[in-house]
Copies of this chain bind each other. A is one copy, B any other.
């Protein structure tokens, strides 16, 4: 399966969507609540939220102690999925020499390399898609009601796929 997003990206996005849905609440949202609503492990979410908090600029801000929790650092419409995914999964790069940003001369034979063109195109398509969608888009317009429906999703690790039949 190409284009595999790990559970970091999957759970992390769900976490951010949850925070976006509670962005206008008076109190921060605790990981305990999120873990319960999304049926995810608290300890694992702590690892993910750490990435989101320590990123530059941070995507979430925390309040410690009782009744603490997390908030988005900015309104949902100002946070793109590209930002989130890059923090969680690293740069968008189908392979090592087709990474984003400073495409320094890693590959000595880069000029004679026909395939770089392909992977660069794929990378750009993904980046453009992710950068054009914000958290607000995912939360959606029909989101004043249904304040409690979980953003549930079947995970990669939930299901065993049939042994890689060739398509």
Contacts and interface: CB of A to CB of B under 8 A. Distances in A.
A62 to B, nearest CB: 16
A153 B108 CA distance: 8
B167 A90 contact: yes
How many copies of this kind of chain does the complex include? Answer: 2
A116 to B, nearest CB: 7
A109 B9 contact: no
A166 B2 contact: no
Place the interface of chain A in its size category. Answer: 35 or more
A113 B153 contact: yes
A55 B165 CA distance: 10
Interface of A: 1-5, 9-10, 13-14, 17, 51, 54-56, 81, 85-87, 89-97, 99, 106-109, 112-119, 121-123, 125-126, 128-130, 133, 138-140, 146, 149-156, 158-159, 161, 164, 166-167
17 contacts: A1-B93, A2-B5, A3-B94, A4-B4, A5-B94, A14-B115, A87-B167, A90-B166, A96-B159, A106-B154, A107-B152, A108-B154, A112-B149, A115-B138, A115-B151, A125-B126, A125-B128
